[in-house]
Amino acid sequence: MVVVATHIVQHPLAQHLLTELRNRETEPSRFRQLAWTLSTLLILEATSGVSLSSRLIETPLEPYEGQVLEHGLAIVPILRAGLSMLEPGLQLLPDVAVGYIGLERSHETAIASSYYCKLPNLSGRFTVLVDPMLATGGSAAQAATLLKFHGAEKLVMACVIAAPEGIGAFEKAHPDVPVFTAAVDRELNGQKYILPGLGDYGDRLYGTL
């Protein structure tokens, strides 16, 4: 199967917001604001492939054949940091179904274990998997497998930053799922944190440092 390319969002605003997120001086309240706006840009890009169909409507003056979304939409955050990308998705996407996947990564082994999974029927829906950090790729690959099991056929992933190792592992597991991100960073360190990265996204988001 041909590997779908990773899409790096090069919009100047996205790169500005990412730099502010990386800054260690950015306080949690400001971090949340930046994360919301950047997530909006990422989800807009990730849903650029949603198919359209024609619909005849009546404007106040005459009939008009317009374009509407052909399929339903769904957004699924990986808990907990993925919740930061949920609200922008709810604001952007019409009639969107929401699922949740809870995966916790061991700091010793870097292997994720599942503690929660609640998903709608995803059959026929364009589904966006969201998680800010694509580090080892293990959690994202596991989540994508769950989404496909629950009927997701048209599936994309949106993340704030990714490591080359995570991109490689995710593409190997799901070569048909494109990834949309603001940056692919240099590497992972020994503790599986992304370098240069921005630290622990969830801790910075919620002030649990």
Say which of 22, 26, 37, 200 is annotated catalytic. 200
Say which of 30, 109, 145, 186 is annotated catalytic. 109
Say which of 22, 32, 80, 105 is annotated catalytic. 105
Closest CA to 193 of 51, 73, 22, 58: 22
Are residues 156 and 122 in contact, defined by beta-carbon separation less than 8 angstroms?
no
Are residues 131 and 104 in contact, defined by beta-carbon separation less than 8 angstroms?
no
Q: What is the DSSP string of 161-194?
A: EE-HHHHHHHHHH-TTS-EEEEEE-SEE-TTS-E
200 is catalytic: yes
Are residues 136 and 125 in contact, defined by beta-carbon separation less than 8 angstroms?
no
Say which of 30, 145, 186, 203 is annotated catalytic. 203
Rounded CA gap, 33 and 45, in Å? Answer: 19
Positions annotated as catalytic residues are 105, 109, 200, 203
